[in-house]
Amino acid sequence: MNKLKNWSGITAVIGVDWGDSGKGRIIDDLAQEADIIARYNGGSNAGHTVVNHYGKFALHIIPSGIFNQKATNLIGKGVAVDLESLIDDEIIQLKKSGVSWKNLVIDKQATLTMPWHKLRDGIREESRKYNKVGTTKRGVGPTYADRTERVGLRVGDLYSKNFREILEAEIKIQNRFFSLNLSSEKIYKKFKSYAKIIKPYIGQTIPILKEAIAKGKNVLFEGAQGWLLDIDNGTYPFVTSSNPGIVGIWRSYDLHPSLINNVIGITKAYTTRVGFGPMPSKIETNQRDIIIEKGHEIGTTSGRVRDPGWLDLVLLKAATDSNQVTQIAITKIDVLSKIPKIKICTGYKISGKPAHYIPGNSYYLSLCKPVYEQFPGWDEDLSQVRKFEDLPKNAKDYIKRIEEYTKTPVTFIGVGPGREEAIYV
């Protein structure tokens, strides 16, 4: 592995923001040199865009390393497995484009997202007047809730001789508790047919991963979402229900974070948020529309507009510190071209006094007013730039300020969505 500096062994790519920073695109590229690509959290709420010689894809659960036919792609036990998305959307999308794979393994212990989880997600969101989270309505919160309650159906249950009874009992309870009207016969038939389709991919991911590590193979972990959406350290309750940060790897694969050689924290050159919750550096001027349009800031999964904000170094540093990020990947710097003055948030104030990010406390964050530094922009189109030296001086200064503040090197800069549209510093 030599595209990124000091990169070999075990590497994690995690969002150090509110998601959608380009995890799919960097994984697709780095996966060409990986033996294992392992997704560890989230479910079909994720939308990872990959643009390569096969076409453009929106992946939700299938790891973005699927285009490397020599590698093994793992879906770990910490992933909420939504078979409707996996089979009726992703597998079809990939097959239509001529993508084939040999080694995809879905962990038997992963919890299934069932139809009642999606219904509950929708009912909860729609019934809320205040504190709507703005979920993707993919049933992810209820799936993790049932997992924690130890009542979730797991992938392996699909093959149990008692599957029909297990399913019927659970549907009875769901119908009663949540006033649903689900037919167990219909769901049974549907999931039996899904079970048949995915049978060749079912396995135990941890032994595969550990064997590969013991042999010194290159492993790439693919996170979903971003650390600011972490159930424990994000802007609760405006978060997702899993751990997008480094802890998610431990929970899914029993691999201690100290064994990970490289942690790549990925963020856009600005920031975005989709759904509700505080965002101190939200752009309220007409630059908001410019960034939405130039950056195509429309959610991959939900089709909603993502709110843009200036890059928030307070939050970025909180994320890089918490996850011991060893290198930062910045995407979409091309989108900032022609913006005359670019702001970057370097501190907060509450009632005129300095304030910090307190993980998990979104009320406190909602009170924070950003302190900005302003950078002169650049006019050049950056999409053809492949070397750091060739960037305009103002773009270089912008990157250097990020490195200086976070005390972490920026080793990847995205200048377009395609696999090749990147600068490896």
Going residue by residue from 304 to 343, which x/- string records binding to ligand GDP, judged by CB under 6 A? ---------------------------xx-xx--------
Q: Which residues contact 253 (CB under 8 A, 6 or more apart)?
A: 38, 40, 76, 77, 78, 205, 206, 209, 221
Find the binder of Mg ion among 300, 323, 326, 327 (CB under 5 A): 300
In 3D space, the residue among 379, 385, 296, 395 whose CA is nearest the CA of residue 340 turns out to be 379
Burial 214-253 (b: 16+ CB within 10 A, else e): eeebbbbbbbbbbbbbbbebbbbebbbbbbbbbbbbbebb
Residues contacting Mg ion: total by CB under 5 A = 3
Q: Among 10, 18, 19, 408, which residue interacts with ligand GDP (rule: CB under 6 A)? A: 19
Q: Which of 10, 28, 35, 47 binds ligand IMO (CB under 6 A)?
A: 47
Sign of CA dihedral 132, 137, 142, 147: negative
Residues 122-141 that bind ligand IMO (CB under 6 A): 133-136, 138, 140-141
Q: Does 113 bind ligand IMO (CB under 6 A)?
A: no
307 touching Mg ion, by CB under 5 A: no
Query: Which residue type sits at 329?
Result: A
Binding status of residue 152 toward ligand GDP by CB under 6 A: no
The verdict on whether 157 is a catalytic residue reads no
256 catalytic? Reply is no
Partner in contact with 275, chosen from ligand IMO, Mg ion, ligand GDP, none, beta carbon below 5 to 8 Å by kind: ligand IMO
Contact flag: residue 75 with ligand IMO (CB under 6 A): no
Contact between 244 and ligand GDP by CB under 6 A: the answer reads: no
155-179: buried (b, 16+ CB within 10 Å) or exposed (e) per residue? Answer: bbbbeeeebeeebeebbeebeeeee
| Residue 138 interacts with, from Mg ion, ligand IMO, ligand GDP, none (CB under 5-8 Å by kind) | ligand IMO
Among positions 257-296, residues that touch ligand GDP (CB under 6 A) are 296
The rounded distance, in Å, linking the Cα atoms of 324 and 62 is 26
C-beta separation of 268 from 331 below 8 A: yes
Residue 46 contacts ligand IMO per CB under 6 A: yes
Mark the binding-site residues for GTP, compressed into ranges: 47-49, 306, 332-334, 414-416
